[in-house]
């Protein structure tokens, strides 16, 4: 394995095989063109791909682009296809209307304004049962999908030939044709027992076998189609439940009011009365948080409400339209921008608060592994062949964003030792590591994967360059159960036949799986402070946001100045647990159950806040 090593084998040595006996990827996988998520989105939106199979084939992409494409592609992405809004009970639609939710006495349900009546529940178990009941009631309001009982019955009804495909219907009619009718047709042309008659019977036999094979293929295709449609309905219900299962919805309006109190306190402390209260929310979902924050300010802080402007950045066009309808009572205060926040163009010089609740978990990540011989980092790619099969490929890090994140990570950690490297690996001399890697076939040539939040870094860059006087309010999960293998690895799950199914890889059929990551808040804090200080421009950009109605009264580096000490900035970035934040800013007595427990504080113990 020296200089005479075969180039193909040398190249394959940079690939990681979970199974050492598995075949290496075919040579085609290394030559497919490299694409990114934006190219795939443009291709799908422009209908440059087959209508029956819009997902990419014969391409390679970085792991972050595959994840981004799976979640956000405008045609088949998970959030694009399954984005839904919660029904608003206060609107009191008719029982047959989509989105209607009937109030049930004793369940703790109330209007959308007040949410659950927590004092009605004896304990946490009773509250959990009420939440599950509301889930089921909400799913019943969804339109009947193709896998609903009524549609399945129509497809399987023996008299419903119209429900079958044309080829399947033809095959069914062919099977129903009397056998003696075919036989009589041949006997009218050939003498029984003649060579011509034998050849004709053989030909008809082959045709019959072909018809039966086609009928079986059509039957299997129908089963597969029913299965896919059933899965589609399950995933739609999973997306609906995901919207329900946010603390904003479960603890409505108390959770949003806690955020509103924090905003008010910080605004009055640092900006009032010289500046407006400008709020940007990323990915507002159902719009419930914005609605409840503005309602609180209107009712409890009218002076602040008069100075408030609320801007929502929403990547989903469908959700953005629905948010506008939901927030119509605050039309003069709210502006909904249908734009990916990571591609924000305008510069906002006015001081503002940026809210990102449950946004970090769906930001794209890259996969990095390290050579067990040299500890050199390798970036992960996903290669998709002509049949849709996917392969992991690894190559030395070339991507600038990955390189930059790794440099920042080494700087804040104070070491170049990979997080994902086993402890024994770092204690071995490099010469021994090299021998093991090159001459022991069963010895892994790459470390386990590390998922690095390059999407998070892009978010910080936007905040630094486009919102120089921002204050960040973010909350998300710091740990997740059922994650796949790796450091800071995601949970990848779908819903099948009513059951949530986690899987062991992120390389799954795009659009049918939710992919979400835990957040390392300590690392986020350290990288945040470094990004906001390193090479920060001392002069404000010239393209001031046209929507900023008030000129800043503070100098542009009021919040972050490159002249300030890094330690001082770190002290201004706070990490709080879910309960710590709510104990300080929520009215926790209003969410206490009769036995003294408090789900507002007890639930979401694996979530944290970062406040800057």
Digit-coded pLDDT (tens) for 78-134 = 887 765 655 554 443 333 333 333 333 333 333 344 589 999 999 999 998 888 887
Q: What is the pLDDT of residues 173-203, one digit of tens each?
A: 333 333 333 344 444 455 655 667 667 767 7
Let me know if residue 510 belongs to a domain: no
Where does residue 345 fall: left (phi above 0), alpha (psi -120 to 50 degrees), or beta otherwise? alpha
275 & 192 share domain: no
Residue 162, token pair as written in the block: 């119209």
Alpha-carbon gap, residue 469 to 466, rounded angstroms: 9
Residues 6+ apart with CB under 8 A from 100: 87, 93, 94, 141
- Number of domains the chain is built from: 4
Residues spanned by the domain of 135: 89-140
359 & 290 share domain: yes
Cα dihedral 428, 430, 434, 435 sign: negative
Model confidence band, residue 342 (pLDDT cutoffs 50, 70, 90):
very high
Residue 28's pLDDT is 81
How many C-beta atoms lie closer than 10 Å to residue 39's C-beta?
16
Residue 158's pLDDT is 33
CATH number at residue 272: 3.40.50.150
Model confidence band, residue 322 (pLDDT cutoffs 50, 70, 90):
confident
Helix (H), strand (E), coil (C) string for 539-562: CCCCCECCCCCCCCCCCCCCCCCC
Residue 436's pLDDT is 67
pLDDT reading at 211 higher than 60: yes
529 & 574 share domain: yes
Let me know if residue 499 belongs to a domain: no
Q: What is the pLDDT of residues 443-469, one digit of tens each?
A: 677 889 999 999 999 999 999 999 999
190 & 324 share domain: no
131 & 168 share domain: no
Let me know if residue 93 belongs to a domain: yes
Question: What pTM, to 2 d.p., does this model score?
Answer: 0.74
Let me know if residue 533 belongs to a domain: yes
Let me know if residue 289 belongs to a domain: yes
Model confidence band, residue 590 (pLDDT cutoffs 50, 70, 90):
very high
Determine what percent of the chain is predicted with pLDDT higher than 70: 64
Let me know if residue 494 belongs to a domain: no
473 & 595 share domain: yes
231 & 328 share domain: no
114 & 36 share domain: no
Q: What is the pLDDT of residues 142-167, one digit of tens each?
A: 654 433 333 333 333 333 333 333 33
Alpha-carbon gap, residue 600 to 586, rounded angstroms: 9
524 & 535 share domain: yes
196 & 342 share domain: no
Let me know if residue 486 belongs to a domain: no
280 & 355 share domain: yes
Let me know if residue 563 belongs to a domain: yes
DSSP 34-60: B--HHHHHHHHHTT-S-TT--S--SEE
105 & 66 share domain: no
Residue 100's pLDDT is 33
**Domain-ending residue, one of 243, 260, 294:** 243
**Domain-ending residue, one of 433, 452, 471:** 452
**Domain-ending residue, one of 196, 211, 243:** 243
């Amino acid at each position: 394995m020296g200089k005479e090593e075969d180039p193909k084998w040398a190249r394959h040595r940079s690939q990681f095989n979970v199974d050492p006996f598995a075949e290496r990827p075919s040579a085609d996988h290394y030559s497919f063109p490299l694409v990114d998520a934006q190219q795939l989105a443009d291709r799908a939106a422009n209908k440059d791909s087959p209508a029956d199979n819009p997902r990419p084939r014969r391409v390679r992409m970085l792991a972050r682009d595959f994840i981004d494409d799976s979640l956000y592609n405008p045609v088949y992405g998970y959030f694009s296809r399954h984005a839904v809004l919660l029904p608003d009970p206060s609107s009191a639609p008719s029982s047959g209307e989509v989105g209607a939710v009937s109030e049930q006495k004793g369940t703790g349900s109330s209007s959308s304004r007040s949410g659950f009546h927590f004092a009605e529940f004896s304990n946490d178990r009773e509250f959990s049962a009420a939440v599950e009941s509301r889930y089921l009631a909400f799913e019943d309001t969804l339109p009947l999908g193709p896998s609903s009982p009524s549609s399945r019955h129509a497809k399987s009804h023996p008299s419903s030939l119209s429900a079958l495909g044309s080829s399947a219907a033809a095959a069914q009619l062919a099977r129903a044709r009397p056998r003696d009718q075919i036989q009589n047709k041949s006997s009218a042309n050939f003498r029984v027992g003649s060579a011509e008659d034998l050849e004709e019977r053989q030909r008809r036999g082959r045709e019959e076998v072909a018809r039966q094979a086609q009928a079986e293929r059509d039957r299997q295709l129908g089963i597969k189609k029913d299965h896919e449609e059933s899965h589609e309905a399950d995933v739609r219900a999973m997306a609906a439940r995901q919207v329900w299962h946010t603390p904003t919805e479960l603890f409505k309006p108390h959770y949003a009011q806690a955020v509103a109190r924090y905003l008010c306190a910080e605004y009055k402390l640092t900006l009032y009365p010289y500046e407006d209260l400008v709020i940007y929310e990323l990915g507002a979902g159902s719009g419930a948080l914005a609605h409840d924050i503005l309602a609180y300010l209107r009712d409890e802080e009218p002076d602040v409400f008069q100075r408030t402007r609320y801007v929502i950045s929403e990547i989903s066009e469908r959700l953005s339209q629905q948010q506008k309808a939901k927030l119509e009572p605050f039309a003069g205060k709210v502006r909904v921008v249908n734009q990916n926040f990571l591609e924000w163009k305008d510069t906002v010089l006015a001081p503002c608060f940026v809210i990102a609740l449950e946004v970090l978990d769906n930001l794209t990540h890259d996969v990095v592994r390290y050579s067990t011989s040299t500890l050199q980092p390798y970036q992960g790619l996903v290669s998709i062949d002509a049949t849709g099969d996917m392969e992991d490929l690894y190559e030395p890090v070339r991507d600038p964003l990955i390189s930059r994140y790794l440099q920042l990570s080494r700087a804040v950690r104070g070491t170049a030792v990979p997080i994902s490297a086993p402890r024994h690996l770092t204690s071995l001399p490099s010469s021994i590591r090299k021998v093991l890697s090159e001459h022991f076939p069963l010895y892994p040539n790459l470390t386990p994967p590390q998922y690095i939040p390059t999407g998070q870094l892009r978010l910080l860059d936007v905040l630094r360059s486009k919102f120089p006087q921002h204050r960040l309010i973010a909350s998300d999960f710091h740990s997740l159960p059922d994650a796949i293998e790796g450091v800071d690895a995601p949970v990848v799950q779908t819903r099948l036949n009513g059951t949530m199914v986690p899987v062991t890889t992120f390389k799954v059929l795009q659009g049918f799986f939710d992919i979400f990551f835990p957040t390392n808040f300590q690392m986020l804090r350290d990288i945040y402070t470094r990004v906001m200080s390193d090479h920060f421009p001392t002069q404000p950009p010239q393209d001031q946001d046209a929507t900023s109605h008030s000129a800043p009264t503070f100098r542009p580096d009021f919040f972050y100045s490159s002249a300030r000490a890094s330690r001082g900035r770190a002290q201004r970035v706070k990490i709080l647990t879910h309960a710590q934040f709510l104990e300080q800013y929520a009215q926790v007595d209003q969410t206490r159950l009769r036995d003294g427990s408090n789900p507002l504080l007890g639930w979401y113990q694996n979530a944290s806040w970062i406040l800057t």
